[in-house]
Copies of this chain bind each other. A is one copy, B any other.
Amino acid sequence: MKDGNNKRKLEFKLNHNIKFIGEVLKEVIKYVKANKKEYLEELKDYLRIPSISTLKSHQSAINKCSKFVASKLKDAGMESVKIYPTDGHPLVYAEWMKAPGKPTVLIYGHYDVQPVDPLNLWKSDPFEPVIKGGKIWARGADDNKGQNFVHIKSVEAILKIKGELPVNVKFLIEGEEEIGSSNLEKFIKKNKKLLKCDTVLISDTSMYAPGIPTINYGLRGLCYMEVELTGPNRDLHSGSFGGGIANPINELAKLISKLQDKNGKITIPDFYKDVKALTKKERENYKKLNFSDAELMKEYGVKELKGEKGYSTQERFSGRPSLDCNGIVGGFIGDGAKTVLPSKASTKISMRLVPNQDPNKIAKLFEKYVKSITPRSVKIKVTAHHGGLPIVMPLDDEAIEAAANAVSKAFGKETVYTREGGSIPIVVEFSKQLKAPVVLMGLGLETDNIHSPNEHFPIKNFELGILSSIYFLDEYSKTEV
């Protein structure tokens, strides 16, 4: 999702067709509204804990934070609350499973945060939350304490008023998201029964634009390769040898130029073989985003966009595979001039994948192709870095539909459906291991400065987020299992 200023102002009408809201639900919402100040005070306590996962010196803060989350889940009325130790930071689990015949929602979030340096750029203490300008300012305010606290409070409100939840709910809040979630992956694999659910609900992404309720239903996968060409076995003088010995930089340039054709299609044989075409519905959704190429070009200072022929920019960003050189290096790269015919040149090339492309298969196709187009005058070495599967949730999945309705009700506008061009490995892991769709109900904004100084979260998003969560649990309870 891009900055808000990349798109035209979206003009959606308030959705007046919201179905019957039960009296109980009305009361729950009333309760939330009455308690929002108290909720913010609690969120402040959560934000005061400097749970930076990457710093060993913050281990006690991590432990304290896991206990804080556990106690809040207990206070909310969740049961079987347990802190699971891992090889790294602890995981907090809780469940409420008293709705037989109803679906089970697993709510995922993370209590760890990014480091805060450079500290001097913060306008207030990153661990002493401040409310100012309709926003709460602190490290973790958006990513992810603010966004996961929304769900804890929604469950609490329903349980306080109604005494029971409309669906079964499990919480899994980890402490290592900012350092790669490797222990969470192991935990999921080992605890499939514990985590069994019908859908996974995650609020850890952004809304398409401020005020626009957004459901992200897909992520691209990744195949990241490195290619190194070696010409002569040592650097040579380009005067003495230039013209008679193949230059690995020139050859690498030729190789790269052969990876895409003039229509922006990737030329690796069978690359598109497993690509699932965008459906008519999806292309309509893309159109509804009303994305402005002109504003994108202005924002990033380019005179012309470039991509696969026949697709819109937003489709190219997230609905179609892509190929980019992420880095290239060879020969003399200092200031001035050095007349060297270098021995080596290398490039890092990543391909973003869409369903049903498989990163391992694509890595093999890539390697086979680049080797086939490399002349004998240079040696080639191909290395595969990490990869990741693409994922797309069916738009007609009941969890997706329930979530779309819920955020639409809460924010009072029609929900937009987006796919993200990047990858979130843990989402794929949840989906793969638990065989459940993942709902990405992003409540943050692109402009919230996550991972940067002066992180913040709009208070409105916090409040409407709680309502979104409540509506979702209600809506999703209508799903038959």
Contacts and interface: CB of A to CB of B under 8 A. Distances in A.
Interface of A: 1-2, 220, 222, 224, 226, 231-234, 236-247, 249-250, 252-260, 264, 296, 300-308, 313-314, 316-317, 320-334, 336-342, 345, 347-348, 350, 352, 375-379, 385-386, 420-423
Given A243-B352, A304-B375, A332-B348, A341 B317 contact: no
B308 A253 contact: no
Nearest to A314: B244
B317 A244 contact: yes
Given A222-B239, A337-B326, A375 B245 contact: no
Nearest to A336: B385
Contact of A243 (B243, B302, B321): B321
A427 B257 CA distance: 40
A293 B306 CA distance: 44
A238 B326 contact: yes
A347 B260 CA distance: 21
Q: Considering residues A236, A317, A326, which has the most beta carbons from chain B within 10 angstroms of its beta carbon?
A: A326
Contact of A302 (B246, B258, B260, B308): B246
Given A233-B302, A250-B324, A337-B350, 4 more contacts: A224-B337, A253-B257, A304-B376, A326-B340
Contact of A316 (B243, B257, B331): B243
B342 A232 contact: no
A329 B329 contact: yes
Contacts of A246: 302, 304-306
Given A257-B253, A257-B254, A337-B386, A242 B324 contact: yes
A391 to B, nearest CB: 13
